[in-house]
Amino acid sequence: MSNDLQDQVHDQMSRRTFLTNSGIGLGAAALSAILPNTAQASESNHKIGPHFAPKVKRVIYLHQSGAPSQLETFDYKPKLEAMWGQNLPESIRGGQRLTGMSAGQSSFPLAASAFKFAQYGKSRAWISDLLPYHKQIADELCFVKSMHTEHINHDPAITFIQTGNQIGGRPSMGSWMSYGLGSENQNLPAFVVLLSRGRAGDQPLYAKLWSNGFIPSVHQGVVFRSGIDPVYYLNNPNGIDKSSRRNMLSALSKLSEDQYKQVLDPELDSRMKQYEMAYRMQSSVPETLDISKEPDSVFNMYGPDSRIPGTFAANCLLARKLAEKDVRFIQLYHQGWDQHGNLPKDIQIMAKSVDQASVALIKDLKQRGLLDDTLVVWGGEFGRTNYSQGKLTKENYGRDHHPRCFSIYMTGGGIKRGISYGETDEFGYNITKDPVHIHDLQATIMHLMGIDHEQLTFKFQGRRYRLTDVAGKVVKPILT
């Protein structure tokens, strides 16, 4: 199948339309009958991958927006306790660009974690007291402590991790997956987005993060809202019943098809598909998102928040339900990890909102046998500084943005569980071993889904684009 807009239009023009409409005669018409009908073939299951056997069929990406501190969670640095309050040596900082928020500080006092660390599980993974539930799954996780990124501010950094580029306009990771692998489930979008808030005054999220960019808009992420109306304008207005909706759509689709033949705009094709998808979603979405039939034991597992729609815990439960329905890419965003000040107190609010639910999700996936064909990724867009932003006291401090290192974890099919990959220096400032760039992470996620990140491209404005731009290396040591 062509992955190229111009080629697609060209195909339409040259084969089907030309042969049948130009009246060359019976022979030509017969010829066109044996040529593949591109429009029809791409109707339901657009697919140009996988390029090789996948390890997993779906991804649940638990994005922690605002960037949780690696130094309070998984990257234990006793040196910071020993050197508490001392200035960050210039030799370590190495001229690193700082944000305007702490660049003007006269000193950069090293701040140790307010939370105690210990090692857990057979894998002896370091986890702080901030995330007590995570201690229970230490052996299920693959920690990557050597993540690094290119920008120091939220918008470009989060855009980078989602789309492979700091500036918006490129397709999101989930859109690439939808484009490359299609969807097994015909009644739900391949790329679903669930949003939640941790605390007030969060960094904003933007629709460009789940945008399809320049690839056909059927691949854009669909946001499911909490509450009785999960997708805007999905339900029929009063007075319109299912059959009249069906009639209207069928008539509209005929008109669109006629217009498509004239103008060959692939967006028309996209729009028709989206209308049809929306029609099917009228019944599939309420059914999938209905958590009222879940037993109490499940709510107890995900924690009390899971009964409140729109929380991270409730979204984790929905993520599991969407995974059961074979949605290809399930993207959660949880806002509120931007602790520039008052970190010890604020980060606890955040940790509490995700700790139990994240762990419950992983355990729930596991007992249902879903963890073997699902990849779960948990992490933010960058790390946080080892020095305090603002005044450092024993009780209080803050941390500024830090792109040079941060920690994430992954688990699921094809990933080695119970390992820790990559190391940072004793200050927790620079990577000393096995750095993993954002593009490497993206290449690895694609690899697990059976996609060669260098092969999945889309031609736009004269150039072929891909999620990993011109970089990215699969992180093989963490794969089984």
Partner 1 sequence: MVLLKVSPSNFEILIGRLHPLVIHLPIGILLLVALFEFLARKEKYTVLRPAIIKMAFWGMISAIFSCVAGYLLSKSGGYEKDLLVWHKWFGIVLAVIATAFYIFKKIEKEFKQFGIVSSAIFTIMLAVTGHLGGALTHGEDFLTQPLLSLLGSAPVKVVRKPITNINEALVYNDIIKPVLEQKCVQCHNSQKQKGNLRMDTPELLLKGGEHGKIILAGNTNESEIYKRLLLSEEDEHRMPPKGKTQLTEQEIVLLQWWIQTGAAMDKKVANLAKDDKVKTILASLQVGAGGQETNEYGKEVSEFLEEKVPNLATKDIESLTKMNISVDVLSPKNGWVSINTVNNTGFNDAQIGLLLPLKLQIVWLNLGDSQITGISLKTIGELINLTRLNLENTSVSDAGLQNLSKLKNLQYLNLVNTPITNAGLEILKEFKSLKKVYLWQSKATLVGVEALRKALPNSEINIGEELITIKPIESK
Q: Contact positions toward partner 1, by CB under 8 A?
A: 45, 47, 50-55, 57, 114, 129-130, 132-133, 136, 182, 184-187, 300-301, 324-326, 344-345, 348, 352, 356, 359-360, 363-364, 366-369, 372-373, 395, 450, 452, 476-477, 479-480
How many other C-beta atoms can be found within 10 angstroms of the C-beta atom of residue 22? 9
Please, which residue, 163 or 356, has the CB nearer to partner 1? Answer: 356
Please, which residue, 47 or 307, has the CB nearer to partner 1? Answer: 47
Q: Which of 194, 131, 138, 190 is nearest to 362 (CA)?
A: 138
Report how far apart, in Å, the C-alpha atoms of 323 and of each of 216, 243, 368, 372, 398 are: 24, 30, 11, 12, 37
Q: What b/e string do you get for 389-411 counting C-beta neighbours within 10 Å, with b at 16 or more? A: bbebeeebbbbbbbbbbbbbbbb
> What is the four-CA torsion angle of 53, 55, 57, 60, rounded to 10 degrees?
-150
Nearest-approach distance from CB 321 to partner 1, in angstroms: 12
The rounded Cα 387 to chain-centroid distance in angstroms is: 29
Please, which residue, 54 or 213, has the CB nearer to partner 1? Answer: 54
Nearest-approach distance from CB 250 to partner 1, in angstroms: 19
Please, which residue, 364 or 381, has the CB nearer to partner 1? Answer: 364
Please, which residue, 100 or 369, has the CB nearer to partner 1? Answer: 369
Q: Which of 193, 168, 167 is nearest to 178 (CA)?
A: 193
Nearest-approach distance from CB 183 to partner 1, in angstroms: 8
Please, which residue, 150 or 372, has the CB nearer to partner 1? Answer: 372
Please, which residue, 132 or 309, has the CB nearer to partner 1? Answer: 132
Nearest-approach distance from CB 55 to partner 1, in angstroms: 8
Please, which residue, 89 or 477, has the CB nearer to partner 1? Answer: 477
Nearest-approach distance from CB 433 to partner 1, in angstroms: 15
Please, which residue, 267 or 276, has the CB nearer to partner 1? Answer: 276
Q: What is the largest CA-CA distance in the chain?
A: 87
Nearest-approach distance from CB 324 to partner 1, in angstroms: 8
Query: What tokens appear for 401 in the block?
Result: 């943005």
Nearest-approach distance from CB 368 to partner 1, in angstroms: 6
Where do we find the tokens 């060359």? 24
Nearest-approach distance from CB 253 to partner 1, in angstroms: 19
Please, which residue, 241 or 395, has the CB nearer to partner 1? Answer: 395
Nearest-approach distance from CB 441 to partner 1, in angstroms: 17
Nearest-approach distance from CB 360 to partner 1, in angstroms: 6
Please, which residue, 129 or 267, has the CB nearer to partner 1? Answer: 129
Please, which residue, 160 or 191, has the CB nearer to partner 1? Answer: 191
Nearest-approach distance from CB 168 to partner 1, in angstroms: 31
Nearest-approach distance from CB 132 to partner 1, in angstroms: 5
